Amino acid sequence: MSDKYSSKWNFMWIFGQKVTLPVTVAVRNPATGEVTGHVPKGGQAETTLAIEAAWRSFPQWSRMPAKDRAVYLLDWADRILDNREELAALLTQEQGKPLAEARGEIEGAAEFVRWYAEEGKRAYGELIPASRPRQRILVMRQPVGVAGLITPWNFPAAMVTRKAAPALAAGCTVVLKPAKQTPQIAVALFQHLMDTGIPAGVANLVTGDAVAIGGALLSDPRVRKISFTGSTEVGKNLMRQAADQVKRLSLELGGNAPVIVFPDADLDKAANAIVSNKFENCGQVCNGINVIYVHKEIAGPLTEKIVTLVKRLKIGNGMDPEVTMGPLIDETARAKVEAYVADAVEKGARVRTGGYRLETGGCQFGSFYAPTVLEGVTREMALTREEVFGPVAPVVEFESEEEVLAYSNETSFGLAAYFFTRDTSRVFRMAEGLEFGMVAVNGTSLSVPQAPFGGIKESGTGREGGHHGLEDYMEYKYVALTLE
């Protein structure tokens, strides 16, 4: 490895130790194509060591009072915030998102830790009224055990804490595997966790071969729970593997989020909220809008407003503070977006803005794609049915509430849906009728620590955030006590 590319974050964490390996995996900056670092290519052997460490440290950590575990977590949150600039820059260089978004993600990551440090203290049990005089019915809540956490590249900081914070607060010990595109930010976040003096082995991190690491996590009976965020395809594969040991699972998978704009909506607010959701992180957000359903009476003016806002986006290297949209994560992602746009155009969609890859302006090696708005989109086009995961806003016109509700639900996914209206009765009809785990009304932002984030149907199972997210790392134990 030449010095030029040597990175500060070139190790894993096992039993509180920094572990390096002779074989490494390169990490690239998606804005420049440059190699920014290397991480060890860990596999089954390293994962098994990490599981061993987590398993050995579980008795001590799980028995520690929640308020003492919270001391480490609160310290972790403070350290993340104290280092937010360095972490945000690392995140931008590894993931591509604009610095302001990266800063927001780091702050959000710290918020999850802080919130769960407190919520861990409220893992109350129950005393249930019994049927007989000498009987007592107790329900205890206990941590699941060692948890395997598999995180994606689109929010590689927030997903680390959204999983690790509730797990640790509940009393679980963890082995985390970050995505290969964005491992360094996870290693850096763990550095700050280790600096709190958290007991060795409570939190471990393995980088490298996803299939080998995943296989080791899924096949080891000491791992009692898997929490995964990523593609539906990999999620289904993990679910099949988990069946052998009936492991507890939380899966946060793909989505196909509709946003529906009714004619009585505030169009300026709707356009702003849609553009900020749709083009955040270059459209690579699991709960990001995939299709924009606009009532035909307002399709013209709303599309115009969206196009105006999209044209204001400044595309480039996220390290430039003026930039508001970065590159796609890699060339594969860009090729996929291109294919969806080509299919739509071939079937009659009209490009209002964008619709091409960006190769110039010093960005020739990055995986940039122009923010795109398509109108005249129909439901025969693949991009309305599949998750595009890129900066493409397809506008589909509709005529009635019943029709658009049916269109929206006609997907195997069920993560998030959005709609804009000022009619209170319609708010309830739509919120009740949409088959999604999350629905936002007159707004498009969802992820906060205190609310249960997650999907139904093929978008997954389990919730992250809220007391629900803590419960996902705990088991109920029913104790039937007969008094002597």
145 binds ligand ADP (CB under 6 A): no
Q: Strand 248-252 and strand 146-150: pairing?
A: unpaired
276 binds ligand ADP (CB under 6 A): no
- Looking at 38-144, list the stretches that DSSP marks H as alpha helix, in order from N- to C-terminal side: 44-63, 66-82, 84-95, 99-119
DSSP string for residues in 242-305: HHTTT-EEEEE----EEEEE-TTS-HHHHHHHHHHHHTGGGG--TTSEEEEEEETTTHHHHHHH
List the catalytic residue out of 46, 52, 105, 252. Answer: 252
Residue 240: enclosing H or E segment and its boundaries? helix 232-243
The residue within the footprint of ligand ADP, chosen from 164, 205, 234, 344 (CB under 6 A), is: 234
Closer of 142 and 219 to ligand ADP (Cβ): 219
Closer of 165 and 328 to ligand ADP (Cβ): 328
Piece of the chain touching ligand ADP by CB under 6 A; list 92-100, 145-153, 185-193, 413-421: 145-153
179 binds ligand ADP (CB under 6 A): yes
Backbone φ, ψ for residue 373 (5° rounding): -125, 130
The residue within the footprint of ligand ADP, chosen from 93, 151, 191, 256 (CB under 6 A), is: 151
CB of 477 to ligand ADP, least distance (A): 30
List C-alpha distances in Å: 190 to 55, 113, 137, 279. 18, 12, 40, 29
211 binds ligand ADP (CB under 6 A): yes
177 binds ligand ADP (CB under 6 A): yes
> 386 burial class (0-12, 13-18, 19+ CB within 10 angstroms)?
middle
Question: What is the rounded (10 degree) CA torsion for 324, 328, 330, 336?
Answer: -170
103 binds ligand ADP (CB under 6 A): no
Closer of 47 and 92 to ligand ADP (Cβ): 47
Evaluate whether 439 touches 259 at the Cβ level (below 8 Å): no
End-to-end CA distance of the chain: 70
CB of 230 to ligand ADP, least distance (A): 3
CB of 413 to ligand ADP, least distance (A): 14
Piece of the chain touching ligand ADP by CB under 6 A; list 174-182, 264-272, 375-383, 422-430: 174-182
Please state, as a whole number, how many other Cβ atoms lie within 10 Å of the Cβ of residue 338: 16
Note if 252 is an active site residue.
Answer: yes
CB of 211 to ligand ADP, least distance (A): 4
Closer of 66 and 210 to ligand ADP (Cβ): 210
152 binds ligand ADP (CB under 6 A): yes
List the interface residues with ligand ADP, window 301-360 (CB under 6 A).
Answer: none
41 binds ligand ADP (CB under 6 A): no
36 binds ligand ADP (CB under 6 A): no
CB of 423 to ligand ADP, least distance (A): 37
Residue nearest to ligand ADP (CB): 214
Please state, as a whole number, how many other Cβ atoms lie within 10 Å of the Cβ of residue 81: 17
Residue 431 CA from chain centroid, whole number? 23
CB of 82 to ligand ADP, least distance (A): 27
d(CA 349, CA 341): 9
427 binds ligand ADP (CB under 6 A): no
- Residues with Cβ within 8 Å of 372's Cβ and at least 6 positions away in sequence, in order, are 310, 341, 351, 353, 354, 355, 391, 392, 393
**Nearest Cα to Cα of residue 25 among 9, 38, 6:** 38
List C-alpha distances in Å: 263 to 294, 404, 424. 8, 13, 14
The residue within the footprint of ligand ADP, chosen from 166, 214, 376, 455 (CB under 6 A), is: 214
d(CA 407, CA 430): 13
Question: For ligand ADP, what does the binding mask look like between residues 439 and 458, x meaning CB under 6 A?
Answer: --------------------
The 3-state DSSP class for residue 35 equals strand
Piece of the chain touching ligand ADP by CB under 6 A; list 45-53, 56-64, 144-152, 475-483: 144-152
CB of 40 to ligand ADP, least distance (A): 14
CB of 328 to ligand ADP, least distance (A): 11
42 binds ligand ADP (CB under 6 A): no
The residue within the footprint of ligand ADP, chosen from 17, 219, 231, 409 (CB under 6 A), is: 231
Tally of CA atoms within 13 A in the half-sphere of 483 that contains its CB: 7
51 binds ligand ADP (CB under 6 A): no
Chain length of the chain: 484
Piece of the chain touching ligand ADP by CB under 6 A; list 32-40, 102-110, 210-218, 462-470: 210-218
State the residues that interact with ligand ADP by CB under 6 A.
150-153, 177, 179-180, 210-211, 214, 230-231, 234, 237-238
Tell me the catalytic residues.
252
